[in-house]
Amino acid sequence: MQTGEVSMFIQSDVNALYSEYFNHKQPQIPLFKYIKNIDYDIFIGIPYDTSLKKMVKTQLVKTDSSNVFFESNSNYFFKRYRKDGFYISEYATVFKNNTIIYVASMTKKKVVSDSLFNKLEIAKRIKLLSN
């Protein structure tokens, strides 16, 4: 974790926020870890009974946001958009053992989103987790 980040207990209001923005359709991505910073929230999920291909398909049909940027290949997807005043990034990747990890972030500050939650920075953080 980075300076200023705190791993928080997942309370019902956090679960509700996560479900509203990130886990309200198939495939299911249960919330595994919640990290709070004064400027942003990070949600880490472990997708259940799915594949990256299915996750990408679901991402492509979501249309309830603006300024969407989407990129994917066989190993990851990255999506960035604005919704309800939040700058949101979603990233999922497949590890060598076929485990998928999903990371979503939300912030009200564009500079935070641009610097911490671009594809490269999220991928670096996940790589550190997998080592």
HSE of 20 in the Cβ direction (CA atoms, 13 Å)?
10
What is the mean pLDDT of the segment spanning 113-124? Answer: 94
- pLDDT, position 13: 95
The yes-or-no verdict on residue 40 having pLDDT over 90 is yes
- pLDDT, position 65: 61
Cα-based distances in Å from 101 to 3, 4, 6, 77, 115: 22, 23, 20, 11, 21
pLDDT band at 28 (very low <50, low <70, confident <90, very high): confident
What is the average pLDDT score of the chain? Answer: 88
For the chain, which domains are there?
6-130 (3.40.1000)
pLDDT band at 6 (very low <50, low <70, confident <90, very high): very high
What is the mean pLDDT of the segment spanning 13-31? Answer: 87
- pLDDT, position 67: 64
Burial class for 70, CB neighbours closer than 10 Å (0-12, 13-18, 19+): middle
What is the mean pLDDT of the segment spanning 74-86? Answer: 92
Backbone torsion region of residue 4, taken as left when φ is above 0, otherwise alpha when ψ lies between -120 and 50, otherwise beta = left
